[in-house]
Copies of this chain bind each other. A is one copy, B any other.
Amino acid sequence: MGVPLYQTKAEFFRTLGHPARIRILELLAERDHAVHELLEQIAIEPSNLSQQLAVLRRTSLVVSRREGVAVVYSISVPEVRDLLLSARRILVGLAETRSDFEDELMVPDRR
């Protein structure tokens, strides 16, 4: 029944596939933030930020609560931290592979 898991996974990764949403999650991984605090850190228009927060809310990756005049967001799935770390490791690995390759190109041809 229901949607195949690989489809759900793809949707999940697509949710993470936007620079603003990554930044939001990284900031929320540190600590809860009000929207205006996020706005200070991320250089986008308020309504764009709201749209991106809405995407994250829809997938239940974050939740919001009102605190007086401000709306505060927090990560609802702590494991996302591991995922972001995991991704960073992979990217660093890939970057190294590429620069090794570039180094090779730098070395005078010995064949």
The residues of A with any CB-CB pair to B shorter than 8 Å are: 4-19, 21-23, 26, 59-60, 76-77, 79-80, 82-84, 86-91, 93-94, 97-98
Interface of A: prevailing SS = helix
CB A31 to nearest CB in B, in angstroms, measures: 17
Question: Taking the full assembly, how many copies of this chain does it contain?
Answer: 2
Complexed CA–CA distance, A80 and B87 (Å): 8
Query: Across the interface, which residues of B come within 8 angstroms of A26, CB to CB?
Result: 6
Contact B5 A10 (CB under 8 A): no
| B residues in contact with A6, CB < 8 Å | 19, 22-23, 26
**Is A87 a contact of B9 with CB atoms below 8 Å?**
yes
Q: Do A16 and B19 have beta carbons less than 8 Å apart?
A: no
